[in-house]
Amino acid sequence: MAECGTVEPSYETRARTESLEETESKGRSFGFARFSAQVAALAGRPVTFALAVGIVILWGISGPIFKWSDTWQLVINTGTTIVTFLMVFLIQNAQNRDAMAIQLKLDELICATKDAREKLIGIEDMDDVVVARMKSEIEARGTAAPQRAAAN
């Protein structure tokens, strides 16, 4: 594992950094990233939920007007399918960005903390077997610490 000062960023981090540098150098805004962050923020608000409930209520009330037709049912089915499909990608983009930012912050804290194990830096890019082994080591270290304190 590399030292804190020489940690190699993961492929995903390098690719995103290069993309952001290219975007900044060309003077463009962050486009899709900014759009997805705004939509994810708006989608999580109570007003948005209330609006969705209102649309469903209006659709339900309009049933007798359209004689409960297949087209009437198709409208809500198609609308919800399209919205759900698009929201999956928008929210996933926002979550990926948040997760990467959290990992970078945690890596920085590991580097700044005395007695921290530097091999934990970049753990999110390691194989599941390696992560499980490191988790077991940390859990064993955590349970051994109180026992050592009680012995002293």
Q: Residues 63, 9: contact at Cβ < 8 Å?
A: no
99 SS3 class: helix
What are the pLDDT digits (tens) for 33-62? 788 888 888 988 999 999 999 999 999 999
Radius of gyration of the chain from its Cα atoms, rounded to whole angstroms: 24
How confident is the model over 94-116, as a mean pLDDT?
85
- pLDDT digit string, tens, across residues 55-98: 999 999 999 999 999 999 999 999 999 999 999 998 888 888 88
What are the sequence ranges of the domains in the chain?
8-119, 122-152
pLDDT in the model for residue 13 = 63
User: What does pTM read for this prediction?
Assistant: 0.59
**How does pLDDT run across 125-152, given as a tens digit for each residue?**
888 898 888 888 888 887 876 666 666 6
98 closest CA partner among 31, 29, 16: 16
